[in-house]
Amino acid sequence: MPIDNSRDKDDIMKMMQGFPPAANHQVLLANWREPDIARWSFNHLRQLLPTAPMRPANPPATFASTRQDLDDLSFMDARGDRQRLGAFLAASQSDCFAVMKDGKLVYDWFGGFGAPDRQHIVFSITKSMASLLAGVLVGAGVIDVQRQITDYLPELGHSAYAGATMRHLLDMQIASGFREAYLDTDGVFMAYRRASAWNPIEEGDRNDGLRDFLTKMPVSDVAHGTRHHYCSPHSDVLGWVIERSGGASFAELFSRHILAPCGAVHEAYISLDTFGAPRVSGGLCITIHDLLRIGQMVYDGGCFAGQQIVPQSWIDDIYHQHDNHIWLQQQDGQGPRLFVNGNYRSQWYRPDQTRQIACAIGIHGQWLWIDRAARLVIVKMASNGTVVDTDTDRTLLAAFNAIEAALD
């Protein structure tokens, strides 16, 4: 597990302080995802990128609490060493952590710039939130998962999406030549980030935006529906289908159908490219307690406060024990990083198909964990300096098991 031993806490808290801030405390489009700097930027994204607001509920919902102090909860980490929950959260550069049991807030923890009323970017948890909105539109009959993507977006007819269905898209089973290379500095993934307005445009380069990039998604000689190929642009295509089918912006539709009906207290927002297209693959920023509310809605089969928000059939299908043969056929040929007995359905992970758990995961340490059998919803938001930190993820899974045992 990585230890936060680079800048000290006092130095990190000086980020973007002063008029102007000192050069070594400035957060820019060119450095906002770098270690330590991310401690500020992941909690203040709308000060760096164009965003669209999402309205909360009016009036907002409240939830009961039966608080317990879990800071000293002891468990074994991925290496067999003894950990305490609070110390683990601090060392893994967490910003927020919260636990609900039986719909009641049991525990929350804040570090760095994390705060109950501060929106934090959740990266690829955004994909799972988009799935919920897609489920609403499927239930309304405006999206059919068996239809081809190009029925909705003919602009993609000469891209990797030609011939693929919406079900292929939702389950990340589209064959393409794109690689999810987070450390790429000059290849296709960097071009994708620039198109999304997440990185500055180099002098002399042209930026035609995210959706132009999607129309040029490189093809593959592998057939759709034969391998699991995790590819963030697929979720941006899903967002495009949602907007065109729903007749409104993603931000408006998510506010109307998910955020407000789940009783959100605070506004959420999503990052946009320079042409106004939302980064549905990873640009959602939301407070931890509002994400808990959405998680509780999923736990309750798509229902919140007696109102059916997402069709129960959509939620039940995510939890259903589907054949995981394709999940095991990863595009890179190495097999799943986690969840060997799991699956991926409608932009959600199933960690173990023998257990009633669904989860959403984002890079740099974002987690939404929904365990029906244990009656738990857990959210972790972080600014881990490592993009994908498997040791920390495995230790977090051990922490989830310890929380389940402690609250049983």
Dump pLDDT digits (tens) for 112-158.
Answer: 999 999 999 999 999 999 999 999 999 999 999 999 999 999 999 99
User: pLDDT tens digits for 339-352?
Assistant: 999 999 999 999 99
More confident residue, 63 or 193: 193
Domain 51-407 has CATH 3.40.710.10: yes
Q: Give percent above pLDDT 70 in the chain.
A: 97
Give the separation between CA 186 and CA 388, rounded to whole angstroms. 20
pLDDT at 100 over 70: yes
Helix axes 232-246, 125-139, angle to 10 degrees: 30
Q: Residue range 6-30: average pLDDT?
A: 89
Give the model's pLDDT for residue 79.
Answer: 86
Two structure tokens written together for 376 = 């738990």
**What 8-state DSSP symbol labels residue 200?**
P
- Predicted local distance difference test score (pLDDT) of residue 2: 42
Across 1-28, average pLDDT = 80
118 phi and psi angles, rounded to 5 deg:
-110, 130
Amino acid at 128: S
For the chain, give the mean pLDDT: 94
Q: What was the pLDDT predicted at 132?
A: 98
Tens-digit pLDDT profile for residues 203-230: 878 889 999 999 999 999 899 999 999 9
Label residues 336-362 b or e (16+ Cβ within 10 Å = b).
beebeebbbbbbbbbbebeeebbbbbb
Is the pLDDT reported for residue 174 higher than 80? yes
Burial of 374 (0-12, 13-18, 19+ CB in 10 A): buried
b/e per residue 285-311 (b: at least 16 CB within 10 A): bbbbbbbbbbbbbbbbbbbbeeeebbb
Residue 331: pLDDT band (50, 70, 90) is: low
Q: What is the dihedral of CA 96, 100, 103, 106, to 10 degrees?
A: -100
Angle of helix 125-139 versus helix 288-299 axis, rounded to 10: 50
Percent of the chain with pLDDT over 90: 87
CA distance 168 to 164: 6
pLDDT-derived band of residue 185, with 50, 70 and 90 as boundaries?
Answer: confident
Given the structure tokens 């919920």, which residue do they identify? 132
Kind and range of the H or E run holding 240: helix 232-246
Name the pLDDT band for 6 (thresholds 50, 70, 90): low
pLDDT at residue 269 tops 90? yes
Taking residue 222's Cβ as centre, other Cβ atoms within 10 Å add up to: 15
Q: Can you state the angle between helices 125-139 and 312-319, rounded to 10 degrees? A: 130
Let me know: does 385 contact 38? Beta carbons within 8 Å. yes
Sheet containing 120-121: which strands, arranged edge to edge? 51-54, 268-271, 284-286, 120-121
At 341-400, the pLDDT tens digits run 999 999 999 999 899 999 999 999 999 999 999 999 999 999 999 999 999 999 999 999
Q: Among 63-77, 173-187, 299-313, name the one with the lowest average pLDDT.
A: 173-187
pLDDT at 63 (0 to 100): 86
Torsion angle, CA of 308/311/314/317, rounded to 10 degrees?
70
pLDDT over threshold 80, residue 268: yes
Question: What is the predicted pLDDT for the residue at 3?
Answer: 40
The whole-number pLDDT of residue 332 equals 67
Q: What distance lies between CA 146 and its chain's CA centroid?
A: 25
Q: Give the residue, 321 or 158, on which the prediction is more confident.
A: 158
- Cα torsion through 47, 120, 342, 103, rounded to 10: -150
